[in-house]
Copies of this chain bind each other. A is one copy, B any other.
Amino acid sequence: MDKKVLSETLQKVREVNPLVHNITNVVVTNFTANGLLALGASPVMAYAAEEVKEMAQLASSLVLNIGTLNPQTVESMILAGKAANEKEIPVLFDPVGAGATNYRTATARKIMNEVKVSIVRGNAAEIANIVGENWKIKGVDAGDTSGDVVNLAIKAAQILNCVVVITGKDDVITDGTTTFLVSNGHQLLTKVTGAGCLLTSVIGAFAGVEKDLLLASTAALAFYGIAAEKAANITAKHGPGSFQIELINQLAMVTPEEITQLAVYEKLQGAELNV
């Protein structure tokens, strides 16, 4: 996977304008929609059980996010997910807060069981909580991507049988066999509500135009991280309000050429892994 192919994936998103159907939380809807629009995708939010099957089947990808889950919306997520599965439309899942309450953990597992998820993205704690409480992780809060987190990602991908993306200081992308590490990004992302939720939807946009999901995820993470780096360069001295707005600007402004110049990622060799 060379830089050229990453930058071409961004170009493809901007040419195709994929429709991304989001069933997401009430905190991040506006930010997610504006981020997708800025990038060059077409966001749609639709939640009612009465229409989600139809909407999901119109879309290039479906993003499920349990940030402010409730039983009605979870039912809609499963309906939409199964409808997307029928048409082989990629389904992304963001298990926000899995582990924080029993209801979140149980719901995250239920969605993973009932829907064939293509890509799950979360922090290390969320992913660990989906695959079972016996999995020990260290240094999660610090966004540590030492061997533990890489191993967690690989193990989770094997158990869940999908691509797993764990974001933190560095980001791990794996299908359980092949693993990439992306090092773009900026600490200020942790100061913007929904920066992770929007990222999942951005990966959704890339997965809507590129069937190789490792490539789609790696390209999306490098792109998003570069946008954050540029935004931080411009606004870090002003504060997180300005950074949030400039991040939206940069999602529109980052060019394929900048991906080629600025992407920092590597394929991890099997020797480094210890599952």
Residue positions of A touching B, CB distance < 8 A: 25-31, 33-34, 37-38, 43-48, 50-51, 54-55, 58, 67-72, 97, 100-104, 191-194, 238-242, 244-253
Residues of chain B within 8 A of A44, CB atoms compared:
97, 100
CA distance A45 to B197 in the complex (A): 14
How many protomers of this protein does the assembly include? 3
Closest to A49 in B: B70
| Cross-chain contact A248 with B241 (CB below 8 angstroms) | yes
CA distance A247 to B241 in the complex (A): 8
Residues of chain B within 8 A of A47, CB atoms compared:
68, 70
Residues of chain B within 8 A of A250, CB atoms compared:
239
* Least CB distance, A83 to chain B, in whole angstroms: 12
Residues of chain B within 8 A of A246, CB atoms compared:
238-239, 241-242
CA distance A70 to B50 in the complex (A): 8
| Cross-chain contact B253 with A248 (CB below 8 angstroms) | no
* Least CB distance, A101 to chain B, in whole angstroms: 4
| Cross-chain contact B193 with A103 (CB below 8 angstroms) | no
Main secondary structure of the interface of A (DSSP, over half): helix
* Least CB distance, A84 to chain B, in whole angstroms: 14
Known: A30-B31, A34-B192, A103-B51. A248 touches B240 (CB 8 A): yes
| Cross-chain contact B38 with A191 (CB below 8 angstroms) | yes
| Cross-chain contact B58 with A45 (CB below 8 angstroms) | no
* Least CB distance, A63 to chain B, in whole angstroms: 14
Residues of chain B within 8 A of A193, CB atoms compared:
30, 33-34, 37, 43
Between-chain CB contacts (< 8 Å), 27 pairs: A26-B26, A26-B29, A26-B45, A28-B30, A30-B30, A30-B31, A30-B193, A34-B240, A34-B241, A37-B193, A38-B191, A45-B68, A47-B68, A48-B69, A51-B101, A51-B102, A51-B103, A54-B103, A55-B100, A70-B72, A239-B252, A240-B252, A241-B245, A241-B248, A244-B245, A244-B248, A245-B245
CA distance A104 to B252 in the complex (A): 30
Residues of chain B within 8 A of A101, CB atoms compared:
46, 51, 54-55, 58
* Least CB distance, A126 to chain B, in whole angstroms: 14
| Cross-chain contact B37 with A240 (CB below 8 angstroms) | yes
Residues of chain B within 8 A of A29, CB atoms compared:
26-27, 68
Residues of chain B within 8 A of A103, CB atoms compared:
48, 50-51, 54
The residue among A45, A54, A55 with the most chain B CB atoms within 10 A of its own CB is A45
